Structure 1
Amino acid sequence: MSQKIIRSKEFTAGRAWGALDIATMGGVTTRLHWTDQPYKWHVNDGEEVFAVLDGTVDMHYRDAGEAKQVALHAGDIFFAGLGCEHVAHPRGEARILVVETEGSV
């Protein structure tokens, strides 16, 4: 199949952070995640683009050792560069498009 049409607002998963694999291109994966629970503090194996498609997510991150937080709403994007420790806490249900190195946490 050479195309996919994904209606992100219709996607749900059987567990928090369940994902629909959309594409893997040149070692980079694109996934649609559904969640209603926080993730865990982590550092990705590479850079990460985190785009909120539906819902609101409080993104906690550390910048030069200082804990910070930003509210991300539908349409907002968070870029986690190399070494950026972060954790996402959705407020209720959220759908998030994540682009990251294949096999990353």
Structure 2
Amino acid sequence: MEITRGKEFKSDKAWGAKDIANMNGITTRLHWTDKAYKWHVNDGQEVFVVLDGVVEMFYKENGIEQSCILNSGDIFYASIGTEHVAHPKGEARILVVESEGSV
């Protein structure tokens, strides 16, 4: 049993993470960042939950770039093959659930 205070978590580098759980190859990780990630496509599905802060999520649908603003409590689901990149507006804390070893 462990309690993690998500809003208090901070890493020494952008996208640094605390591993919360690995359940049969599905990882749950808490990330802290103040910088954009990189465009990528995950090996499987991804659930991206903004716990604290604001993130602009860019993604491509049918090859067309789009974006949405995610506030604290919002969830972005990336299905297999969804190209996307997260751009925090200042500091953000994000819970990511995805296949182990995914980008």
| Range class of TM-score, shorter chain | over 0.9
Unaligned runs of 5+ in 1: none
Q: Output the amino acid matched with 1:78.
A: F
Determine the structure 2 residue equivalent to 1:61.
59
Residue 84 in 1 paired to residue 85 in 2?
no
Unaligned runs of 5+ in 2: none
Determine the structure 2 residue equivalent to 1:35.
33
Q: Percent identity?
A: 65
Measure the CA separation in 2 of the matches of 1:82 and 1:9: 29
Aligned length: 103
Determine the structure 2 residue equivalent to 1:104.
102
Deviations 1:36-88 (A, max 9, x none): 00000000010000000000000000001010000000000000000000000
Task: Report the 3-state secondary structure (helix = DSSP H, G, I; strand = E; otherwise coil) of the residue aligned with 1:9.
Answer: helix
Determine the structure 2 residue equivalent to 1:20.
18
Measure the CA separation in 2 of the matches of 1:97 and 1:46: 16
Measure the CA separation in 1 of the matches of 2:42 and 2:2: 27
Superposed CA RMSD in Å reads: 0.3
Measure the CA separation in 1 of the matches of 2:94 and 2:15: 9
Measure the CA separation in 1 of the matches of 2:99 and 2:62: 23
Determine the structure 2 residue equivalent to 1:45.
43
TM-score by length of 2: 0.99
